[in-house]
Structures are given as C-alpha cells and as structure tokens.
Copies of this chain bind each other. A is one copy, B any other.
C-alpha cells in the first residue's frame, strides 16, 4: 500500500530550495542518517530545519550546516556544533530557540490540527517576550503556535508495508510527532516487514502518517560513550 523506495536520492528528490523540513532525533540518536546524507548530496539550499538539535560538525544535520544549506534552524539545544556557532555569529544562519517541551508540543499540535495552545515554559524569560501571556487559575502561560513542515524525515526500527512504524528505545524521541506534522513524511527504517508482522496494539506511528518508506543501514554514531567498568 505504501510507496517503498530503494533510492535515497529519489526519496528526497522533490525537496526544493526554501522548503521547511522537520527531522527526527535527539542528539545523534534516532536521526534518519541516510535521508540527511541524500539531502546533502542533493545540495538544496535555503532550508528551514525544525529539529531538537543540529547534529555535530561532521554528522547528522551538521552536514547540511557545513554545506550551507540551512537558512533557519528551530531547535532546543545546539551546543554540540561549532560550525553552528560560527554561522549564527556571522549572520549566515537564523536561529529560533524553543524550550524542548514547547517544541515537542508545537510539532504535535501541527500534526493534530491544533493551531495554538498555552504552556508555562518560558514565561518570564526572554523567549516569551513577544508572545501573548495569559493567566489561567492564577498561573501565567504563554501562547505557542503549531509547527508544520513541507517534509518530515523520520527514522524507525521497523516499518511495515502499510507504513506502520515502531521505534527502538530512546530513538523514538521526536520522531512520532514529526511523522504527523509533515505534508509529506518520509520514513527511513532499519527493517521493512510485511503488514501484519507488527502487533497492531504496539504501533508507535500508524501508517496514515507515512507517505514513503525506505530501508537504510544505520551507522548509529555514539556521541558520548559512558561505561560502567
């Protein structure tokens, strides 16, 4: 039932200059590695990227940054990336920092048809200076609007032929919401299985949200290896 692709270049071919894209992942965990590589190779420019982080200098979204493909970044934590700093300070890159919970909820709202909602995070701080603040039950909340994208790129452990996705452990993170908020959602999955192979009660992302599926081998780079000796 779903379009199952074999070429990553083809998967991202209609992403054009100036598109807004959302990309799943937290740090380097759960990022659609090969879709990002294909986007780098496609060399599309002036992207607005919505993602919790912006990769590291030589992996993940950092690759698009290095290649100067991103005009604007909306995320919650970008501290791991030196090139990011350089581009912001030089005025090449516009950045909107959003509290992580607001970011997650704004993306969910985008997929769920909720144009705006109120949240306490950021009230009384610089980030709420230009938004409506309103009191409910004696507590102040800031109005937050939904985020949507032209294309959503997500990564899952399993995808079935109906587009149903299951994520592995903390590689879930932003992927389920991002899958709902793209006009077109492209899922890079570690394994493609026949519909019916996954337990219907255990699907994280129902297939209705996924327009394209492609299988990709993951490097899964580890940012901070910490061990119990």
Using CB atoms and an 8 Å cutoff, list the residues of chain A in contact with chain B: 105, 109, 112-120, 136-137, 139, 141, 145, 166-169, 172, 199-202
A199 to B166, CA, bound (A): 13
Q: Which residues of B contact A167 (CB under 8 A)?
A: 201
The answer to whether A115 and B118 touch across the interface, beta carbons within 8 angstroms, is: yes
Q: Which residues of B contact A114 (CB under 8 A)?
A: 105, 117-119
- Tell whether A172 pairs with B145 under 8 Å between CB atoms, given A113-B119, A114-B119: no
Identical subunits present:
2
A168 to B112, CA, bound (A): 24
Pull 11 A–B residue pairs with CB atoms less than 8 Å apart, ordered by A.
A105-B112, A109-B117, A113-B119, A114-B119, A115-B139, A116-B117, A117-B117, A117-B118, A166-B201, A169-B201, A199-B202
Q: Which 7 A-B pairs have the closest CB atoms?
A: A115-B136, A117-B117, A202-B202, A116-B118, A115-B118, A114-B117, A115-B141
The answer to whether B118 and A136 touch across the interface, beta carbons within 8 angstroms, is: no
A16 shortest CB reach to chain B, Å? 22
A116 to B120, CA, bound (A): 11
The answer to whether A137 and B115 touch across the interface, beta carbons within 8 angstroms, is: yes
A205 shortest CB reach to chain B, Å? 13
Further contacts, 6 of them, CB under 8 A, given A115-B137, A116-B141: A105-B112, A113-B119, A114-B117, A115-B141, A168-B201, A169-B200
Contact of A136 among B116, B172, B201 (CB under 8 A): B116
